[in-house]
Amino acid sequence: MSKRVLQGVVVSSKGDKTVVVKVERRIMDPVYKKFIRRSKKYHAHDEQNAHKEGDIVRIEEARPISKLKRWVVLGAAS
């Protein structure tokens, strides 16, 4: 079974070896048939503290690293 990979924008890099990534997705409203943007924030492990706010990164599912971290940063999205 493959691990999920998501792409998003780093909104916080204040924690040590941790970044908060905001992932947006578009869903269609069932009544009005318009696309709505929904977003969710994920805490991801960044071993080298390489990424800063505003960077577009890809994150991958991982084993639990801490209370909130269940994702690992793969690198910058191309």
- Structural domain tally of the chain? 1
Residue 77 and residue 23 in contact, taking contact as beta carbons nearer than 8 Å: no
Predicted structure pTM score: 0.90
pLDDT value at position 78?
A: 73
pLDDT digits (tens, 9 = 90+) for 39-52: 999 999 999 999 99
Bridge partners (DSSP) of residue 21 are 10, 42
Q: DSSP letter at 3?
A: P
Nearest Cα to Cα of residue 59 among 48, 51, 71: 71
The domain of 16 spans: 5-76
- Please give the Cα distance from 20 to 35 (Å, whole number): 25
CATH number of the domain residue 35 falls in: 2.40.50.140
- Please give the Cα distance from 26 to 44 (Å, whole number): 22
pLDDT tens digit at each of 78 positions of the chain: 789 999 999 999 999 999 999 999 999 999 999 999 999 999 999 999 999 999 999 999 999 999 999 999 999 987
pLDDT value at position 1?
A: 77
